[in-house]
C-alpha cells in the first residue's frame, strides 16, 4: 500500500526539507540576521530554515525574490519590504516591533545580509536600542568566489562595487593599488570590460579571476592576467549573470615613489588618461597631494611640448 506524500503547503512555524515537514523550534526575541542561498536553493542551513519559519516576520530586500525562497521550503512567515528606497520610513516601524519583543529575521536577496545592502543601519540602531542581534551564518558570494579563484586567501579586501563612471573608478582603483591582500569586487556584466581595462591599466598584469553565476547551473570561473581578461571580454562582449571580480595583491616591490619614480608614474598615466584623471590616479596611488601631482603633470606636459 502506497503511503501518502507529506503536505508541503506553506505553514507558519514549520518548514519542509527533504520532502518532510518539520516544526521550527522557538527562537528568542530580537533581530536574526539570516544568510540565504546566492543561487542554488539547496545552499541553506537547517538553522536558517527554522529561523525563517519561527520568526514573526521576515524583513526582505525584494519580497518577490524572498517569497520564492520561502515557498520553496513551505514557509508562510509574513514578509516586510526593507530596501534603500523605503528604509528611512520602515526602519522606525521595525525597531518599534523589536522593542516590543518580536522575533524578526533579516535577509537579503542573496547571500549574507549587510554586504552591499541597507541592513547594517537596522542592525546598528537595533543594537543601540538594546535589541539582541543574532547571526545565522551561511552562503556568501565573497567567500564562495575567494575559495575558487586560486588567489591568496590569507588576507583580502572587499570593495563591493567600484564607481560607475570612468574617472572616479580609476581614481578608486589607484587608491586600492597598495592594499596588501586580494581585492574582491562586485561588478555588473555591462561594465565588466571597462573595469577590467582600468584595472589592467593601473595595476598592471596582476593575476585575477572573474567568477560568474556562482553555485548556479552555468557557474564559471575565468582566471588569468588582468590585461588578458580585459582583452578576452573586449572581444567576446559582456557576459550574463552575477559577477564577482578578484585581483591578486601587489608585489613586494610596490612602495611610495621618489621624485624620479613619481615623474615616471605621471608620464605613464598621461599616456593612457587625461591630465585631470592622470593626476587623480597618481595622487591616490602614491598619497601625494593631488594639486601637487597636477602641477607636476602640467610641468612635464609643458616640457614635452618644448622638447618637440
**Could you write out the DSSP letters of every residue in 192-248?**
HHHHHHHHHHHH-S-EEEEEESTTSTT-EEEEEEHHHHHHHHHHH----S-EEEEEP
The secondary structure of 25-90 as a DSSP string is PP--SEEEEE-B-SS-TT---HHHHHHHHHSSEEEES-HHHHHHHHHHTT----EEE--TTTHHHH
pLDDT at 283: 81
- Regions in the chain scoring below 50 on pLDDT: 1-8, 253-256
Give pLDDT, residue 18: 92
CB 114 within 8 A of CB 35: no
C-alpha–C-alpha distance, residues 141 and 212, integer Å: 10
Using CA atoms, how far residue 42 sits from 16, 99, 140, 142, in Å, is 12, 33, 14, 18
What's the pLDDT score for residue 115? 83
Give the pLDDT of residue 96: 98
Rounded Cα gap, residues 198 and 202, in angstroms: 6
- Global pTM reads 0.78
- Choices 3.30.950.10, 3.50.50.60, 3.40.50.1820, 3.40.50.620: CATH for 142-247: 3.30.950.10
CATH superfamily membership of 14-139: Tetrapyrrole methylase, N-terminal domain (3.40.1010.10)
Amino acid at each position: 500500500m502506497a503511503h501518502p506524500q507529506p503536505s508541503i503547503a506553506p505553514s507558519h512555524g514549520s518548514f519542509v526539507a527533504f520532502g518532510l515537514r518539520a516544526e521550527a523550534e522557538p527562537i528568542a526575541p530580537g533581530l536574526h540576521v539570516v544568510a540565504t542561498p546566492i543561487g542554488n536553493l539547496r545552499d541553506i542551513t537547517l538553522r536558517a530554515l527554522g529561523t525563517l519559519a519561527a520568526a514573526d516576520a521576515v524583513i526582505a530586500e525584494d519580497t518577490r525574490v524572498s517569497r520564492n525562497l520561502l515557498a520553496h521550503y513551505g514557509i508562510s512567515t509574513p514578509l516586510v519590504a526593507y530596501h534603500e528606497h523605503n528604509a528611512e520610513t520602515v526602519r522606525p516601524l521595525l525597531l518599534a516591533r523589536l522593542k516590543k519583543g518580536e522575533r524578526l529575521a533579516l535577509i537579503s536577496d542573496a547571500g549574507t545580509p549587510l554586504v552591499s545592502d541597507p541592513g547594517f543601519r537596522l542592525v546598528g540602531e537595533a543594537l543601540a536600542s538594546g535589541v539582541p542581534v543574532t547571526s545565522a551564518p551561511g552562503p556568501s558570494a565573497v567567500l564562495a568566489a575567494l575559495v575558487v579563484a586560486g588567489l591568496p586567501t590569507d588576507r583580502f579586501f572587499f570593495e563591493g562595487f567600484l564607481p560607475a563612471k570612468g574617472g572616479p573608478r580609476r581614481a578608486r582603483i589607484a587608491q586600492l593599488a597598495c592594499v596588501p591582500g586580494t581585492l574582491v569586487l562586485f561588478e555588473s556584466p555591462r561594465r565588466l570590460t571597462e573595469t577590467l581595462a582600468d584595472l589592467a591599466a593601473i595595476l598592471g598584469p596582476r593575476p585575477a579571476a572573474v567568477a560568474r553565476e556562482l553555485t548556479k547551473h552555468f557557474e564559471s570561473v575565468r582566471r588569468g592576467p588582468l590585461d588578458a581578461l580585459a582583452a578576452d571580454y573586449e572581444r567576446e562582449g559582456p557576459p550574463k549573470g552575477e559577477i564577482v571580480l578578484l585581483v591578486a595583491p601587489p608585489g613586494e616591490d610596490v612602495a611610495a615613489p621618489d621624485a624620479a619614480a613619481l615623474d615616471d608614474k605621471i608620464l605613464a598615466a598621461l599616456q593612457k588618461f587625461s591630465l585631470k584623471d592622470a593626476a587623480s590616479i597618481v595622487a591616490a596611488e602614491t598619497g601625494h597631494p593631488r594639486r601637487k601631482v597636477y602641477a607636476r603633470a602640467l610641468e612635464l606636459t609643458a616640457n614635452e611640448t618644448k622638447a618637440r
